[in-house]
Amino acid sequence: MDKSIYLFKEGIEEVILIEFKRLKKPEKIGHFGVFYSGFFMFLSFLRENLMGYSLASSSM
């Protein structure tokens, strides 16, 4: 279970990194800048929660 959560988290980060690099062109960021900053804040929040969950479940 912990391993699948870890792999899931790694997969999300990989996809986001690829997407961000692809979209990191100045002319495209304009309208989506606010959306992406909020989106990344949400993702970091999600990542912390997933890490917290996996740590909590492994200590049981």
Q: Tell whether the model's pLDDT for residue 17 goes beyond 60.
A: yes
Query: Which tops the pLDDT comparison, 44 or 6?
Result: 44
CB 15 within 8 A of CB 40: no
Distance CA 45, CA 22 (A): 23
Read off the pLDDT band of 49 (50, 70, 90). Answer: confident
What pLDDT sits at residue 60? 46
Q: Tell whether the model's pLDDT for residue 36 goes beyond 70.
A: no
Q: Please, which residues have CB within 8 angstroms of residue 3's CB and are 6 or more apart in sequence?
A: none
CB 5 within 8 A of CB 50: yes
Read off the pLDDT band of 5 (50, 70, 90). Answer: low
